[in-house]
Amino acid sequence: MDKTTITAFATDLTYCSPVNCVAPEVALLPAYAWMRIFDPPIFACGNPVDEIFTEFKSRDIIGAHFLTPREWLPAARTVISFFLPYTERIRSANSQNNRWPADEWLHGRIEGQLFVFELAKQIQKTLSGAGYDSLVPGADARYKTWVKEDNYSSNWSERHIAYACGLGTFGLSKGLITEKGTCGRFGSVLTAMDLPKDTRQYNDIYEYCIKCGACIPQCPAGSISLEAGKDLAICSAFLDKTRAKHKPRYGCGKCQVNVPCETGIPG
């Protein structure tokens, strides 16, 4: 088994799995029934003992509560990170209104996360079946998320893992810019299988961001500026409003649409 095999397996699952569609019984409108959420993912593999994971424990990055790959799985030899880009239908719907998230985007955020876990667990199952201990940190009982200094934090950040593995760099809006853009969801799997590692093709955390400021007017909460980037407390407060309005769903994603990094690396 190699990354090519895993990618082919994940592509088939993305197209064929009913979990990657909105089930009729949860669709906000009949028109959303069986709407496909994600296009096929892209992958990158990282070294679990890369010193960058220890750097994430810095208070200025994530914090001491972050757990390194081998704190999750001592036998880990590869960190597999993947990005699932949203379909054009979901992206287009969310670009139409600058006040509230589109229903399609809300489905992508909530029902889409179910497929993120489904894909990760199927990869884990395949690797474990081949004899390699594997684990999905985001679905593990030890995974925790909480509000810290008015911002959400966790002991395993999928965006930071993706950055470490080589999938992309952060943008002004704090989204991660990949070769498939920023619109989508990240997931990861730890495995004892020793897969070839990808090299980060960048040196700066904001290298792919051209600081064009296109995401600034897109934010309905006014949380982004060229000088300070994104104020996560303001963003979080707006997400709470979407949660109250659309309960049990929530989300926004306005800073990820109608921008140069929506579907690729700017320039």
Residue 262 placed within a domain: no
Alpha-carbon distance of 76 to 80, in angstroms, equals 10
Residue 106, pLDDT score: 97
Residue 248 belongs to domain spanning: 3-256
As given in the structure block, the two tokens for residue 118 are: 């489904």
Q: What is the pLDDT of residues 228-266, one digit of tens each?
A: 899 988 998 999 999 999 999 999 999 999 999 999 999
Mean pLDDT of 65-92: 98
Alpha-carbon distance of 185 to 174, in angstroms, equals 13
Residue 266 placed within a domain: no
How many domains is the chain partitioned into structurally? Answer: 1
Residue 213, pLDDT score: 96
Residue 264 placed within a domain: no
pTM metric for this prediction: 0.95
Task: Decide: 94 and 105 in contact? Cβ < 8 Å.
Answer: yes
Residue 17 placed within a domain: yes
Q: What is the pLDDT of residues 113-153, one digit of tens each?
A: 999 999 999 999 999 999 999 999 999 999 998 776 656 78
Q: What is the pLDDT of residues 23-38, one digit of tens each?
A: 999 999 999 999 999 9
Residue 167 placed within a domain: yes
CA distances to 1, 219, 240, 250 from 253, rounded to whole Å, are: 35, 8, 14, 10
Residue 247 placed within a domain: yes
**Mean pLDDT score across all residues of the chain:** 95
Residue 263 placed within a domain: no
pLDDT-derived band of residue 59, with 50, 70 and 90 as boundaries? confident
Residue 155 placed within a domain: yes
Alpha-carbon distance of 83 to 188, in angstroms, equals 9
